[in-house]
A and B are shown apart, each in its own frame.
Chain A
Amino acid sequence: MFHKSKALLASVAASVALTGAAFAGSHAKLSGDLVIFSDMSNPAPRAVMEGMVERFGAMHPDLNIELTVIDREAYKTQIRNFLSANPPDVANWYAANRMKPYVDAGLFEDISDLWAEEELADLASTKGAMTLDGKQWGVPYTYYQWGVYYRKDIFEELGLAEPATFDEEIANCQKIIDSGRKCYTIGTKFLWTAGGWFDYLNMRTNGYDYHAALTAGEIPWTDAGVAETFANWRKLIDMGAFIDNHTAYSWQEAMPFMVNGEATAYLMGNFAVSPLRDGGLDDSKLDFYQFPAINASVELAEDAPTDTFHIPSGAQNKEAAKAFLKFVVSPENQTLINNGDNLGQLPVNSKSSVDDDKFLKEGFAMLSSNSPGGVAQFFDRDAPAEMAKVAMEGFQEFMVKPDNLDKIIARLDRAAQRIYK
């Protein structure tokens, strides 16, 4: 599971000039070792990570960078061990509540001083997600929009337009069902996909602030607002909008239904675009719309999960680690690593440019101008891990057995009282 690639970089020093220009003047010489543990194990992210190490190393030839890439899922359980036993200088993780256990345990370094520097002022949009207890604990390197990806060709065939309200959404869905298809594909085997639906339905029904308060434990699950969200969800479930047997599928296994045209839309993160394209849906068949408004009186808000870099408090070479974090968020690097050939996601630095890709452009426009309510991370990053687990299990049960709602709510309420005490 461990892959090591040591970048001994003196040899690459020649190719510095271009990328290094922005920093060459501003920094003293870095030396020693820089140990980086990364969870960017999928092929494209991995290449990005290795590329960053190479370019950073070229800027600091005296620095010996040791990169360890760990399988993304395994990383989630290993981080606990290595942060306390054998901390690297830089480690990947996620924003918002997901970093809270490590912040509370004092395992992440407070890097508020780094955020106070003017180069990081361009990251203002994600500062909130990196802030706990009034301090910043890491830097973001990429984020991506969520929304409804749909089969444009089927919409055209049925004469449907992108819905802007929930009523239009339901009217569309009825026509799709009448044509013998399902409206949405989803695979809830690993639960979080149902969390995405809850995020959107709740943010559209009750607004961002309500959603944030709910995930933070300030509003009980027995609240009337939550009941309204589930009532809206139930409208879709009762009309048969979702594919059958979704409990048996992962999010990847749910994709063939959309590719084969048995389901027309998918509420997903932008990372679904690449496999859908690989499945044969080109831009004439695949399109994107923002999740429609439900309650006209609440402002639209979006999910946009942010992936991050942190410095463990036990790091040996914090000076170099901070320089690396600054390098990661620099506009040039952000433009490069998030373009369509690399991560294919959105840059966190407002001075970067978004790649010329239909979905990235739409997502960027949506998040920067059409999400006035706020930007949430994602259900399992906003709520504490334990609460997220119990709640998402409840969502899955609700999608299969909507009649159990009262039991589910009672269970969530009990769990919340214990977890948020």
Chain B
Amino acid sequence: MSATPATARRSWYKRNEIAVTPWLFLAPGVLFFLVYVIFPIFQSINVSFYEWDGLGQAEYVGVRNYEELYWDDAFYTSLRNNLIWLVLYLLAIPAGLMIALFLNQTVTGIRLYKSLFFFPFVISQVVVGLVFTWFYDPTFGLLNQFLGVFGIDPINVLGDERYVTYGIIAAGIWPQTAYCMILYLTGLNAVDPEQIEAARLDGAKGYRMLWHVIIPQLRPATFIAFVVTIIGALRSFDLISIMTNGGPFGESRVLSFYMFEVALSEYGFRMGYGAAIAVVLFLIMLCFITYFLWSMYQEERGR
């Protein structure tokens, strides 16, 4: 087929097909991302400078919402709880790794054991919350029945401001561990057997083998586990809502829950103040997101 005038004047699309097609495929995703993620971010930032009950006229108040946040004890309680969540939630990663290493063997019925360990991730957070609420019940709960056997007085985990956040985090770690376990199990499948062989010949075993040979190869899995766990910790909401409703006297609130309470719950009518909390939470998340994006970029370049 020789070049005819017709093919020389191919349509614009035909000429740029290679460049344009990816954008065409991306377009729906980009559009929805803009409308449902990017635009609301700026909208929230804008609302946070207003006092607005969601119904009437919005009144511009400048940074007064932020100023009030600065004086608000409840905000610091939420922020502190968010930090506790962030730190303790990360325990799910080593726990998940341990279970994954333990389950990474070939014995009869291992598939069954794996699915049993994965089970808590499959059930809804609401169910997890309810189960743990009953477990912690100071009068009838399993935990306190168990402690009673050893003569320990019942602990009102969810009703005592000292223990409540830890109690909820423990409930959250249960499914999160299962998630990390799955990530590591798939990672372990990709570990190079030849390297293990070589390490064994060099006399490595046990802990040294794990630390110097296995874990470096699991790096991609660890990275993903970090990302999902940190994001999971920052958006913890459903467990708190189900288990304590933010109580007792607001001691188990985190930022996302406080925002909901202030702006959207039964007693909340302060959209501006809620938006200000959301902006703070967004800034915290932004630190992590930037770090993750940066390290991903570094990795890509390193190849």
User: Which of A152-160, A242-250, A265-273, A290-298 is the contact stretch?
Assistant: A242-250
Q: Which of chain B's residues 220-248 have a Cβ closer than 8 Å to chain A? A: 244-245, 247-248
With A and B bound together, what is the CA distance between A362 and B150 in angstroms?
49
Q: Is A87 an interface residue (CB 8 A)?
A: no
Q: Is A287 an interface residue (CB 8 A)?
A: no
With A and B bound together, what is the CA distance between A400 and B35 in angstroms?
46
Interface of A is mostly: helix
Q: Is A140 an interface residue (CB 8 A)?
A: no
Q: Is B158 an interface residue (CB 8 A)?
A: yes
Our pick among A77, A188, A191, A245 for the contact of B156 (Cβ within 8 Å) is A245
Our pick among B138, B267, B269, B270 for the contact of A244 (Cβ within 8 Å) is B138
| Chain A proximity mask over B132-175: 1 for CB below 8 Å, otherwise 0 | 00001111000000000000001010111000000000000000
User: Which of A197-205, A332-340, A380-388 is the contact stretch?
Assistant: A380-388
When A101-B53, A101-B55, A393-B249 are in contact, do A385 and B268 touch as well, CB less than 8 Å?
yes
Q: Is B265 an interface residue (CB 8 A)?
A: yes
Q: In this complex, what residue of A is CB-closest to B266?
A: A76
Interface size class of B (residues with CB under 8 A): 20 to 34
Q: Which residues of B contact A388 (CB under 8 A)?
A: 267
Q: Which residues of A contact B299 (CB under 8 A)?
A: none
Nearest-neighbour CB distance to chain B for A263, whole angstroms, equals 12
Nearest-neighbour CB distance to chain A for B183, whole angstroms, equals 34
Q: Which residues of B contact A397 (CB under 8 A)?
A: 248-249
Nearest-neighbour CB distance to chain A for B290, whole angstroms, equals 34
Q: Which of chain A's residues 85-130 have a Cβ closer than 8 Å to chain B? A: 101-102, 104-107
Q: Is A389 an interface residue (CB 8 A)?
A: yes
With A and B bound together, what is the CA distance between A25 and B107 in angstroms?
84
With A and B bound together, what is the CA distance between A364 and B92 in angstroms?
57
Q: Is B62 an interface residue (CB 8 A)?
A: no
With A and B bound together, what is the CA distance between A105 and B54 in angstroms?
9
In the bound complex, do residue A389 and residue B159 qualify as a contact, i.e. CB atoms below 8 Å apart? no
In the bound complex, do residue A385 and residue B267 qualify as a contact, i.e. CB atoms below 8 Å apart? yes
With A and B bound together, what is the CA distance between A245 and B138 in angstroms?
7
Q: Which residues of B contact A104 (CB under 8 A)?
A: 55-56
Task: Count A interface residues, CB 8 Å.
Answer: 34
Q: Is B73 an interface residue (CB 8 A)?
A: yes
Q: Is A396 an interface residue (CB 8 A)?
A: yes
In the bound complex, do residue A101 and residue B159 qualify as a contact, i.e. CB atoms below 8 Å apart? no
Q: Which residues of B contact A400 (CB under 8 A)?
A: 159, 248-249
Q: Is B264 an interface residue (CB 8 A)?
A: yes
With A and B bound together, what is the CA distance between A73 and B264 in angstroms?
13
With A and B bound together, what is the CA distance between A380 and B159 in angstroms?
22
Q: Is B250 an interface residue (CB 8 A)?
A: yes
In the bound complex, do residue B55 and residue A246 qualify as a contact, i.e. CB atoms below 8 Å apart? no
In the bound complex, do residue A77 and residue B55 qualify as a contact, i.e. CB atoms below 8 Å apart? no
Q: Which residues of B contact A389 (CB under 8 A)?
A: 261, 267-268
Q: Which residues of A contact B249 (CB under 8 A)?
A: 247, 393-394, 396-397, 400
Our pick among B73, B158, B269 for the contact of A101 (Cβ within 8 Å) is B269
When A76-B266, A77-B266 are in contact, do A190 and B55 touch as well, CB less than 8 Å?
no
Other 7 A-B pairs with CB < 8 A, given A105-B53, A248-B159, A386-B267 = A102-B55, A245-B139, A246-B159, A247-B247, A249-B159, A396-B248, A400-B159
Give chain B's interface residues, CB within 8 Å of chain A: 53-56, 68, 73, 136-139, 154, 156, 158-160, 244-245, 247-250, 261, 264-270
The 17 sampled A-B contact pairs (Cβ below 8 Å) are: A101-B53, A101-B269, A104-B56, A105-B53, A245-B138, A246-B159, A247-B156, A247-B160, A247-B248, A385-B266, A385-B268, A386-B267, A386-B268, A389-B268, A396-B247, A396-B248, A411-B73
Give chain A's interface residues, CB within 8 Å of chain B: 73, 76-77, 80, 83-84, 101-102, 104-107, 188-191, 244-249, 380, 385-386, 388-389, 393-394, 396-397, 400, 411, 418
